[in-house]
């Protein structure tokens, strides 16, 4: 990560601490009535930098978001925690991390609204105005989209509240949008405005890597439209259109090797579209949260979110992505300079995600590529939010679901994985390809299963893992292990009329006169 972005992660975090924890509060930073702000280029740039406070929030970029994904059939919690278990079992209780997503996103929306309200009237240089406004439109859309699919629908629940710029404190408590489609339309319009204002990624200086750019806007328009297509097939046209804008720009392509996508040196490679910027001192804790609990006595891994055999078996024979994605019993790997054979007495499923292990490979990783504080296990690896492979898969999905041939885009992804091309790819081909390519990433299979209408079919099955016993004091080969298949998580019940959305955190309901809880919770 570049020094400038690393710095603003600290300064924006300090700014964020001046605001309250719920979206109904009024952030004093950049108050429109202030006569000491919204005057200079520096003021506008500071306001834009403040938009990155979320990049240090565990509830947003670490464990919090992954608890939604944890409800799928790909992973189990990995360690015992009542809140995690309750959420995975589709009850109204939440892990302590998840509840932060809602208020943090509305704080981000408030900061964006202040910029959108004030910057157009400032007497500042045009390039600065465009860059600041572009980031505000981008992150306002991003914030709504970060939570809307989890809490809103096109039925009785409706969407999530849309808070417009310029509202007084008394007006901030607004009702829910009539439909989540209203949220999606709002996001698409904001992303379009951002795309008109922001430069191409190639036009950013290295110090600004990590900020949004045109292709990121286009990719998000495609993705929001894909979610909207759950309710209206016409939205597939928009997904294809904006995927093609990213593809035809010529600015992005797949890396030759899947493994290279998840190396720190490739944080801003040709496959990059948008990610969580991170470093050894700040950012996403996800790599450390996924690391073996206690880190084999060498680093404070947290042991959350471990892969299931169901995910393992989704990979075809010869798929090069499998060994990059999952550490399974008997696999060899390098950790802090040590060659090790993987086996675990800590993991609930007997496995671990391998995708984010690159920062932990060097012998001198701690303090260089890994945070020396194991209670804040950030790394120098940026966690992908959208990468070029997903753009290809979104295009293929939209084509297949709208009755077109989606082979070309799909087979580009399969070819990189060393798999044979498919002719006349079906929905099931796309479903499995997306699962394997994006496993353990923030694209989130649980939302995919819900929008495809097949969640009940997959998540109600018991989930399997491995029980591993060492037969010798220091196992060195798989023959030194006794491995058996176990039920890592029992069968659950998924109510399609209730569990297609999650319960809004109760604290947010309690603080509002207008906010209504989702049905059935």
Closest residue by Cα to residue 80 from 297, 346, 463: 346
Domains defined along the chain, listed by start = 3-246 (1.25.40.390), 286-381+460-489 (no CATH)
Asked whether the beta carbons of 45 and 52 are under 8 A apart, the reply is no
Give per-residue pLDDT as tens, 36-50: 899 999 999 999 999
What distance in Å separates the CA atoms of residue 341 and residue 440, rounded to the nearest whole number?
21
Residue 64 has pLDDT above 90, yes or no: no
Give per-residue pLDDT as tens, 423-459: 999 999 999 999 999 999 998 999 999 999 999 999 9
Angle, vertex CA 172, rays to CA 222 and CA 283, nearest 5: 55
- Check residue 13 and give its pLDDT: 42
Residue 14 has pLDDT above 60, yes or no: no
What distance in Å separates the CA atoms of residue 332 and residue 312, rounded to the nearest whole number?
17
| Averaged pLDDT, 168-180 | 93
The torsion angles phi and psi of 158, rounded to 5 degrees, stand at 85, -170
* Paired residues of 326 in beta bridges: 353
How far CA 169 is from CA of 22, 107, 164, 166, in Å, comes to 13, 13, 12, 9
What distance in Å separates the CA atoms of residue 441 and residue 432, rounded to the nearest whole number?
15
What DSSP designation does 374 have?
T
Could you tell me the two tokens for 310?
């169901």
| Averaged pLDDT, 263-282 | 96
Give per-residue pLDDT as tens, 104-152: 999 999 999 999 999 999 999 999 999 999 999 999 999 999 999 999 9
Residue 195 has pLDDT above 70, yes or no: yes
- Check residue 361 and give its pLDDT: 98
What distance in Å separates the CA atoms of residue 117 and residue 130, rounded to the nearest whole number?
14
Residue 405 has pLDDT above 50, yes or no: yes
Torsion of CA 466, 356, 443, 433, to 10 degrees: -60
Strands (E), 282-325: 306-307
What distance in Å separates the CA atoms of residue 344 and residue 139, rounded to the nearest whole number?
40
Give per-residue pLDDT as tens, 298-355: 999 999 999 999 999 999 999 999 999 999 999 999 999 999 999 998 999 999 999 9
Helix-helix angle 235-248:388-401, to 10 degrees: 140
Please, which pLDDT band fits residue 229 given cuts at 50, 70 and 90?
Answer: very high
Give the residue with greater pLDDT, 19 vs 312.
312
Residue 12 has pLDDT above 60, yes or no: no
Angle, vertex CA 421, rays to CA 417 and CA 424, nearest 5: 135
Those residues with Cβ within 8 angstroms of residue 37's Cβ, 6 or more apart along the chain or in another chain: 30, 31, 43
| Averaged pLDDT, 157-165 | 97
- Check residue 8 and give its pLDDT: 59
Could you tell me the two tokens for 431?
């479903």
| Averaged pLDDT, 175-187 | 98
Q: Which residue has the tokens 């975090």?
A: 13
Task: Convert 444-461 into a string of H (helix), E (strand) and C (coil).
Answer: CHHHHHHHCCCHHHHHCC
Say how far residue 100 (Cα) sits from the centre of its chain: 15
Task: Convert 159-194 into a string of H (helix), E (strand) and C (coil).
Answer: CCECCCCCCCHHHCCCCECCCHHHHHHHHHHHHHHH
**Prediction pTM value:** 0.94
Those residues with Cβ within 8 angstroms of residue 263's Cβ, 6 or more apart along the chain or in another chain: 358, 381
Please, which pLDDT band fits residue 183 given cuts at 50, 70 and 90?
Answer: very high
What distance in Å separates the CA atoms of residue 96 and residue 82, rounded to the nearest whole number?
10
Please, which pLDDT band fits residue 80 given cuts at 50, 70 and 90?
Answer: confident
- Check residue 79 and give its pLDDT: 80
Greatest Cα pair distance in the chain: 73
Q: How many CB atoms lie within 10 A of CB 2?
A: 17
- Check residue 23 and give its pLDDT: 27
- Check residue 94 and give its pLDDT: 77
Could you tell me the two tokens for 180?
């989540």
On average, the pLDDT of the chain sits at 92
- Check residue 20 and give its pLDDT: 32
Would you say the C-alpha torsion 157, 152, 56, 104 has a positive or negative sign? negative
- Check residue 78 and give its pLDDT: 83
Could you tell me the two tokens for 280?
């050894």
- Check residue 428 and give its pLDDT: 98
Rg of the chain on CA atoms, in Å: 22
| Averaged pLDDT, 256-270 | 98
Residue 27 has pLDDT above 80, yes or no: no
| Averaged pLDDT, 66-91 | 90
What distance in Å separates the CA atoms of residue 188 and residue 433, rounded to the nearest whole number?
26
Please, which pLDDT band fits residue 4 given cuts at 50, 70 and 90?
Answer: low
Please, which pLDDT band fits residue 15 given cuts at 50, 70 and 90?
Answer: very low
């Amino acid at each position: 990560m570049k020094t400038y972005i690393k710095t603003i992660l600290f300064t924006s975090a300090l700014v964020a601490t001046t605001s309250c924890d719920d979206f109904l509060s009024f952030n004093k930073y950049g108050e429109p009535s202030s006569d000491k702000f919204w005057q200079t280029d520096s003021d506008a740039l500071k306001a834009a930098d403040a938009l990155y406070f979320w990049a240090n929030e565990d509830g947003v970029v670490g464990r919090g978001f992954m608890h939604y994904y944890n409800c799928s059939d790909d992973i189990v919690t990995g360690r015992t925690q009542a809140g995690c278990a309750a959420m995975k079992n589709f009850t109204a209780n939440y892990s302590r991390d998840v509840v932060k997503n809602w208020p943090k996103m509305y704080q981000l929306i408030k900061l964006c609204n202040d910029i959108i309200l004030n910057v157009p009237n400032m007497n500042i240089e045009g390039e600065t105005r465009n860059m600041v406004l572009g980031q505000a439109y981008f992150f306002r859309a991003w914030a709504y989209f970060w939570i809307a699919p989890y809490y809103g629908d096109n039925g009785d629940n409706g969407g999530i509240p849309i808070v417009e710029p310029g509202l007084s404190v008394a007006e901030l408590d607004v009702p829910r949008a009539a439909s989540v489609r209203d949220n999606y339309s709002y996001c698409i319009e904001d992303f379009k405005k951002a795309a008109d204002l922001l430069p191409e990624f190639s036009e950013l200086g290295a110090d600004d890597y990590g900020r949004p750019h045109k292709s990121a806007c286009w990719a998000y328009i495609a993705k929001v439209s894909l979610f909207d297509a759950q309710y209206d097939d016409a939205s597939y046209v928009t997904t294809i259109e904006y995927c093609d804008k990213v593809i035809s720009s010529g600015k992005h392509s797949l890396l030759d090797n899947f493994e290279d996508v998840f190396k720190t040196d490739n944080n801003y490679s040709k496959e990059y579209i948008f990610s969580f910027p991170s470093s050894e001192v700040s950012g996403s804790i996800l790599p450390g949260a996924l690391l073996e609990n206690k880190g084999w006595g060498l680093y404070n891994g947290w042991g959350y979110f471990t892969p299931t055999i169901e995910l393992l078996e989704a990979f075809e024979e010869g798929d090069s992505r499998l060994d990059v994605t999952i550490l399974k019993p008997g696999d060899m790997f390098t950790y802090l300079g040590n060659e090790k054979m993987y086996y675990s007495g800590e993991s609930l499923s007997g496995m671990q995600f391998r995708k984010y292990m690159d920062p932990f490979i060097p012998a001198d990783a701690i303090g260089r590529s890994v945070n020396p504080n194991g209670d804040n296990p950030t790394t120098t690896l940026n966690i992908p939010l959208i990468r070029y492979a997903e753009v290809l898969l979104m295009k293929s999905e939209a084509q297949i679901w709208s009755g077109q041939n989606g082979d070309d885009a799909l087979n580009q992804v399969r070819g990189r994985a060393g798999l044979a091309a498919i002719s006349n790819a079906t929905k099931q081909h796309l479903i499995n390809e997306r699962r394997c390519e994006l496993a353990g990433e923030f694209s989130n299979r649980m939302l995919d299963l819900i929008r495809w209408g097949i969640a009940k079919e997959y998540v109600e099955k018991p989930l399997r893992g491995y029980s591993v016993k060492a037969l010798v004091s220091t196992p060195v080969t798989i023959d030194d292990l006794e491995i058996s298949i176990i039920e890592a998580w029992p069968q659950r019940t998924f109510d399609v009329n209730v569990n297609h959305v999650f319960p809004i955190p109760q604290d947010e309901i309690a603080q509002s006169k207008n906010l209504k809880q989702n049905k059935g919770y």
